[in-house]
Amino acid sequence: MLIEISPADHGVEIDLVYATDRNFTGRPIYRRPVCYLNEDAAEGLRRAVAIAEPLGLRLRVLDAFRPSEAQWLLWNHTPDPNFIADPRRGSPHSRGAAVDLTLLDGNGRALDMGTGFDDLRPLSHHGTTDLAPEAQRNRLLLLGLMTAAGWDFYRNEWWHYQLFDARAKYPVLSDIEAGTAMM
């Protein structure tokens, strides 16, 4: 079961980049900009928000549940398994078990992470040292916060976090199966 994630209920800012043309495909993927996660992931997001709050930080969600149809669109545009999950295996996003996000300061400004979201270059990898020290610190802050909240990370994308064993625990969902009307 998917839970709708909203700023009021979950204390996050939402900017679903795939509902806009501000993504690597240059066109909207989602017809309707609505944010969902499965129940376990929604609870994990609540934990992350609770950890960030006393630090004067907030989370901006850039992507969450991604219907399998959307995963195919991304894969067909850029079939690079280093950054795009092969839809035949299923993405943790298509299971409602992954979230792409960044950190905001107390004034709502995004912290410098060294690259933008969906920058499909090695500079986006966790642990790269080819960045300004501030960006490295911010990435490590996000990594620590999300890890403390119970999330696993994907080594090639500083913004991507997923539940452990997502592929074994949760089914891939299409837009129709999920009832999200995103596509």
Catalytic residue IDs:
157
Angstrom distance (rounded) from CA 153 to CA 136 = 16
The DSSP code sequence of 124-144 is: GSTT--SS-HHHHHHHHHHHH
CA 47 to chain centre: 15
3-class DSSP state of 53? helix
Q: Is the dihedral of CA 116, 124, 160, 45 positive or negative?
A: negative
